[in-house]
Amino acid sequence: MIYSISFYLKIALQNLIVHKARMILALLGILFAVMSLVAFGNISSGMKKKIDNEISRFGKNLVIIRGGLVFATGRGARQFAESKTLKLVDVKKIKESMPGVVEAVPFFDVTYKARYEDKTLSVSIVGTTEELFKIRNLNLVMGRFFSGEDEAKAEKKAVIGYKVYENLFQKEDPIGKYVLIYRVPTEIIGVMEEKGTDFTGQDQDVQVYIPLGTFMRRYSNVDYIKGIYIQVEDGVSLTQMKQRLRGFIRRIHNKKDEEKDDFSIFTMEDVLRTQSEGIRLVSILTIIASTVSFLIGGLGIFAIMLLSISERKLEIGIRRVVGSKKRDIILQFLTESVIVALIGGIFGVVVGFIITVIVDYFGEFPFSLYLGNIFLSIAISMVIGILAGIYPAMQGTKYEPVEVLNT
């Protein structure tokens, strides 16, 4: 049996070498199909890892409430209408009355100019409490976070993002120095580690964090907040929590059934759902394209094998005369068709891997090797090779030795 298999492989490889051009054409369809499956499987896995990383970096089990409502403006465009109805008392009621809530942190964000000496930078000011740094997994490279005592005394202190540190202080020690934020001298007490751009496209390194009470009284003079970060307990469904929060806030805002919400509630999964849906759509298109390529590749192998058999009548006749049985002829040509398909599959895996590396590098995705698609592609290639070779192999057994040798 071992001898038979090695014999069939030897003949198959010799035939591939003799007819290189036609065999390359036959395996191209398989190559493209496997390439697309492997490449997209790896790339989509990397993209999903990136999405998971974004979620974990933003904070664990977070639900975000924003004052205002998102509405459609036509042609698929969406706009956010801000409201001033979210208050600090709402945060207190949520903490005290909503089961499953670990922490509720208010915030107010706005864009101001920050100036140090002769350098000016447009920054995103975030007024909040010290709990935000814990639930958002924010870390420092130097200094400290502001505390509840700073909040109670309405201290004008700030924790700055890394790019603010680079641009305004050019990496000289900023701790204890003052910047003008909206004409208010503010002491720098900490510098955030470099975070980069988040999932919404906002640069987190140009943010400045200030105690919320200080910000509301001394910087903006407002009595409302822009939003609330809510961290829920492990195991609590974020979808169910959203529904419960919506009903609770409508009740404390005395909203009637026919009235619209004056707030929006979303989670990280909601924000990133568009990206996930895009991945799913491309996945479907990839499967369709791969299926078509596999069919084209199978038809190519089928046509090449039929042509090969018609050209090798004499070889078949001689082998039959010297004792080969019909099953030997079938196995020989099935081996050839499977070898062609497998070579196409293997090269497809290699090309798919190369494409994965290139896309991950330029797209800044985590590298991921999705082995499931690789094994599936090789298995499909073998099946295609068998199916494409069965009929031509059966045709080869119809040639009678005497008739072939007399022609």
Domain endpoint, select from 179, 204, 231: 231
Q: For residue 84, which of 221, 218, 211, 223 has the smallest C-alpha distance?
A: 223
On whether residue 70 sits in a domain, the answer given is no
Q: For residue 182, which of 120, 113, 128 has the smallest C-alpha distance?
A: 113
- DSSP 3-state assignment of 305? helix
Q: What is the pLDDT of residue 2?
A: 42
- pLDDT tens digits for range 75-121: 554 555 677 888 999 999 998 888 989 899 999 988 889 999 888 99
122/36 same-domain check:
no
What is the 8-class DSSP label of residue 365?
P
> For the chain, what is the domain count?
2
- Sorting pLDDT into bands at 50, 70 and 90, what band is 395? confident
On whether residue 236 sits in a domain, the answer given is no
Tokens of 215: 């910000």
Q: The whole model's pTM is what? A: 0.62
Write b or e for each residue in 179-202: b if 16 or more Cβ atoms lie within 10 A of its Cβ, otherwise e: bebeebebbbbbbbeebeeeeeee
CA angle, 204 as apex, 106 and 135 as ends, to 5°? 40
On whether residue 97 sits in a domain, the answer given is no
Domain endpoint, select from 231, 256, 283: 231
293/170 same-domain check:
no
Whether residue 252 contacts residue 93, with contact meaning beta carbons closer than 8 Å, is answered with yes
- DSSP 3-state assignment of 309? helix
Q: What is the pLDDT of residue 106?
A: 93
318 C-beta neighbours (distance < 10 Å), count: 14
186/106 same-domain check:
yes
226/297 same-domain check:
no
Q: Which of 5-19, 203-217, 226-240 has the lowest mean pLDDT?
A: 5-19
On whether residue 68 sits in a domain, the answer given is no
223/118 same-domain check:
yes
On whether residue 77 sits in a domain, the answer given is no
Q: Which of 18-22, 40-44, 359-363, 380-384 has the lowest mean pLDDT?
A: 18-22
For residue 3, pLDDT over 50 is answered with no
Q: Which domain holds residue 375?
A: 2-54+273-406
26/129 same-domain check:
no
Q: What is the pLDDT of residue 210?
A: 93
On whether residue 78 sits in a domain, the answer given is no
170/277 same-domain check:
no
- Sorting pLDDT into bands at 50, 70 and 90, what band is 229? very high
Task: Please state whether 137 falls in left (phi above 0), alpha (psi between -120 and 50) or beta.
Answer: left
Q: Which of 115-124, 241-250, 394-403 has the lowest mean pLDDT?
A: 394-403
C-alpha dist (Å) from residue 165 to 127, 191, 201, 244 = 18, 7, 20, 41
48/126 same-domain check:
no
Residues 6+ apart with CB under 8 A from 321: 401, 405
Tokens of 41: 């499987």
278/385 same-domain check:
yes
CA angle, 404 as apex, 400 and 407 as ends, to 5°? 145
- pLDDT tens digits for range 280-310: 777 787 788 888 888 888 888 888 877 777 7
- pLDDT tens digits for range 163-195: 999 999 887 889 999 999 888 899 999 999 887
On whether residue 65 sits in a domain, the answer given is no
Q: What is the pLDDT of residue 19?
A: 65
Q: What is the pLDDT of residue 322?
A: 65
Q: What percent of the chain has pLDDT over 70?
A: 80
- Sorting pLDDT into bands at 50, 70 and 90, what band is 9? low
380 or 12: which leads in pLDDT: 380
Q: What is the pLDDT of residue 70?
A: 62
Beta strands in 212-296 (DSSP E): 227-232, 263-267
